[in-house]
Copies of this chain bind each other. A is one copy, B any other.
Amino acid sequence: MIWRGDLTEIQRDLAGLKPMSESRVSSVIQEWAYPGQGHNHAPSGHVGSSSQLPQINMIPYSQSQGLVRGGADDRMAEQMMGMSYLPYPSSCISTSPNGGNHSNQQQNHGGAQQDFSSFLLPSLRVPANKRSINKDSPEYRLRRERNNIAVRKSRDKARRRIMLTQQKAQQLQEENKKLQLRIGQLTQELDTLRHILSQRHLHAAEDGATEETVI
């Protein structure tokens, strides 16, 4: 369930996709696209004082996406983000010495059954990737290592994204302050001019009146 608030037209700006050159944290403030969307970057667009800051692609973070934790026992997500960090019901905790790492060593999902499923519906077959997971096999280690790399990469990206969002928010805040100031200046100037004009109007009226009275 992706929640996204009301980002009216905030999207776009995604046209100029280009690979992220690292260590450019302070200029490209353009992230928070769908985490699963791969490489989304926008043109850096100079962040001047009174210029339009580059738009944010604000897709909020999958709003408390229903932690799995056991299955169908989420207590309605603890009132939509609540004290969900409290101790697990302990029926969901695996206290195995393996370190809680869901040891599925050789769990054949059915044990001694022949592969009848291959003659039946293909949807009932053993997933074919969980068949005899030997944790010492090179294939397993290869998969694990690749996943570890992917995990590190993904978390790196997330960290970068978070920092960029923070910097973006900070820049927006400063920009906002400047804009408020500018509005104050303009308003005051406008009041001054209005006053002057009203004075002139008054004088003109007086002149007209005096002329009338003189005539």
List the interface of chain A (C-beta within 8 A of B).
5, 7, 10, 22-23, 25, 32, 52-53, 55-56, 58, 60-61, 63-64, 79-87, 93, 95, 97-101, 135-136, 141, 145, 148-149, 152-156, 159-160, 162-163, 165-170, 172-173, 175-176, 179-180, 182-183, 186-187, 189-190, 193-194, 196-197, 200
Contact = CB atoms under 8 A, between A and B. Distances in A.
Nearest to A90: B145
Contact of A58 (B86, B100, B169): B169
A167 B156 CA distance: 22
B58 A173 contact: yes
6 contacts: A61-B163, A81-B156, A87-B149, A98-B98, A100-B148, A193-B194
B170 A7 contact: yes
